[in-house]
Structure 1
Amino acid sequence: MTARANSARWRPLSEWAAERGGQLRHARDGRGFVIDLPRTLPGLTRIEWGPSQRSYIEGFELRMRCELKVNPDMQMMLIERKLMERLESSVFEAYTDTLRTRVDTDTPEEMRWLVMFPKQSQIESKLVRQRFGAVGINRELIMAWLDKDLSERLAQATQDVLIEGRPFVLLSLRGNVYLRTSMPEPSLGEVEALTRVLDAAAGSAQAVHQRIGDGGPWPTTTSVAWHSRPSEGDYGAPV
């Protein structure tokens, strides 16, 4: 009965995926699904909805990954501002206690980066600047990534999907782009809107990668090697 009920419940998403040459598959426990889109975004894309894999998101979440194979040192993150403030408080407290080593090895990138990477406060879009924080290996790189198209997609999403206080992170990491947000119940409208954000983020990351490949300036930082280590998170594997 659960499988049949979920098939009816997720039919709009299944049809949407099929129209794009993809397929929706149910999780074995019936508590989520995976959509693989082979050819619609700049790279192979996986969309997964299910129980949260992050302590800062309660209940269920939506995870997306677009495989790009861009320079793996392009390490950048956009994060919902209230979530950023909450995670900053948590990670700084952890860094001051006796478990500092565990913070280094066990904490996911989105928390470690808040400590180690510079913030970019001069985001061109006022709405994006008010609603999100941006950190990364280099401020110039972040500015290039947050181009007009990505900023517009983010601004549009804040009107009805990425409402204030909803946990959201967008990362360029290990050559791919990842998106993660809370989602108690999946809806086609929200998945479509967030896919457009991922599409813009992936396209912009490719453009930045191309610029670097053509001899443009490349950021340097002593923390690149430290941050390139695999973490205990799930960004190195399918989402």
Structure 2
Amino acid sequence: MVVKQVKHWLVTRANAARWRPIQEWAEARGAEFSQTRDGQGFLIEHPGASPGPLRVEWGVSQRSYLPGTELRMRCEMGLHPDLQTMVLCRALMENLERAVFEAYTDTLKTRVDTDTPEEMRWLVMFPKFNHAASQIVRQRYGIVGVTKELTGAWVDGELGEALVQASQDLLPEGHPFVLMCMRGNLYLRTEMAEADLPKVQALVRLLETAAREARRVNDGLSETGVWPTTTSIAWTPSTRLGDT
């Protein structure tokens, strides 16, 4: 027991030094930084963030399609529940589509299990948006949403420009990445072997851009969730996106 406690103390102390730049950046923003109980990851909570309370967590992946460790983030927005959209790495989308197809065609299954994450079920439930204004966005990312009109309104604009910029180095081709608007909030997940301050900062900026654009689209929705050019039919997910 003593040896285990000493080992834990050494790991925690080493990681405290390792993540010092991230902690200082977070605290300079007015956020609270803490290590996870096992000392193998960290959590940043920023209730006063704009455009909404922000939670950033780095640690062991909670998704099988993200090997090793991941960065996961949530921005609480209080958006209309009908605003359900997703952008993900195209290679990841193709892999998840194959997994969903296998689940549907498995002779022992008649449906996708309810514990299947939303990112997989949405590929079945929602239409794809293949007409993004940017050719790079069309080539590098898969995009789905409750309606094509809502999805296009979210992606074509500042968010599309940010995705193009991210594709140059932050999110290289094939790098697992998911950005979702659901349950009124924005969520981002991506594989990250080591917590790196510049990458964390850049991904936070990307999430904030997506959140601002989601707010803009949200302001165009009526109280019933109707977008000016169509009627959106919501499908309410029944599971949670990990612990984020």
Separation in structure 2 between the aligned mates of residue 88 and residue 123 of structure 1, nearest angstrom: 20
Contact 2:220-2:227 within 8 A present in 1 as well: yes
User: What's the CA shift for 1:39?
Assistant: 2.5
Distance in 1 (alpha carbons) for counterparts of 2:182 and 2:130: 21
CA distance in 1, matches of 2:142, 2:190: 15
Distance 1:208 1:130 in 2: 24
Query: Is residue 48–residue 63 contact of structure 1 (8 Å, CA) maintained in 2?
Result: yes
- Shift of residue 96 of structure 1? 1.1
1:113 aligns with 2:125: no
Name the CA shift for 1:102/1:7 in 2 (closer, same or farther; >3 Å).
farther
How many angstroms does 1:134 deviate by?
0.3
Structure 1 pair 39/118, CA: closer, same or farther in 2 (3 Å)? same
Deviation at 1:48, TM superposition (A): 0.4
1:164-215 CA-to-partner distances (Å, cap 9, x unmatched) read 1110000001000000000010101101111111001100111111111487
Once residues 203 and 112 of structure 2 are traced to their aligned partners in structure 1, the CA distance between those partners, rounded to angstroms, is: 30
**Partner in structure 2 of residue 234 of structure 1:** 241
Q: SS in structure 1 opposite 2:96?
A: helix
Q: How many angstroms does 1:54 deviate by?
A: 0.4
CA change 1:86–1:229 in 2 (3 A) is closer
What residue in structure 2 maps to residue 194 of structure 1? 203
Displacement of 1:2 = 1.1
Matched, 1:220 2:232: yes
Residue equivalent to 2:6: none
Residue number in structure 1 paired with 2:161: 152
- Seen in structure 2, the aligned counterparts of structure 1 residues 120 and 229 have a Cα distance that, compared at 3 Å, is closer
SS in 2 for 1:39: coil
Q: Retained in 2: the 8 A contact 1:137–1:219?
A: no
Secondary structure at the counterpart of residue 217 of structure 2:
helix
CA RMSD of aligned residues (A): 1.6
Describe how 1:78-117 pairs up with structure 2 within 5 A.
Answer: 78-100=87-109, 103-117=112-126
Between the aligned residues of both structures, percent identity stands at 53
Q: Indicate yes or no: 2:216 matched with 1:207.
A: yes
1:1-239 alignment runs, 5 A limit: 1-100=10-109, 103-213=112-222, 216-217=227-228, 219-221=231-233, 224=234, 227-231=235-239, 233-234=240-241, 238-239=243-244
The separation in 1 between residues aligned to 2:161 and 2:198, in whole angstroms, is 17
Runs of 4+ in 1 over 6 A off after TM superposition: none
Q: How many residues align?
A: 232
Extract unaligned runs of 5+ from structure 2: 1-9
- Deviation sequence 1:56-100 (CA, Å, 0-9, x none): 110000000000000112111001000000110111111112344
- CA spacing shift, 1:100–1:33, aligned 2, 3 Å: same
**Residue range with higher mean Cα deviation, 34-43 or 130-139:** 34-43
Cα separation, partners in 2 of 1:114 and 1:9, compared to 1, 3 Å: same
The structure number with the bigger radius of gyration is: 2
* Partners of 1:20 and 1:39 within 8 A in 2: no
Q: 1:111, 1:83 → 2: CA distance?
A: 10
Distance 1:109 1:99, change over 3 A: farther
Q: Structure 2 length normalisation: TM-score? A: 0.90
CA distance in 1, matches of 2:178, 2:208: 15
| Alpha-carbon distance in structure 2 between the residues aligned to 1:166 and 1:216 | 33
Q: CA deviation at 1:150?
A: 0.8
Residues 1:108 and 1:32: Cα distance change in structure 2 (over 3 Å): same
- Once residues 229 and 198 of structure 1 are traced to their aligned partners in structure 2, the CA distance between those partners, rounded to angstroms, is 21
Residue identity opposite 2:212 in structure 1? G
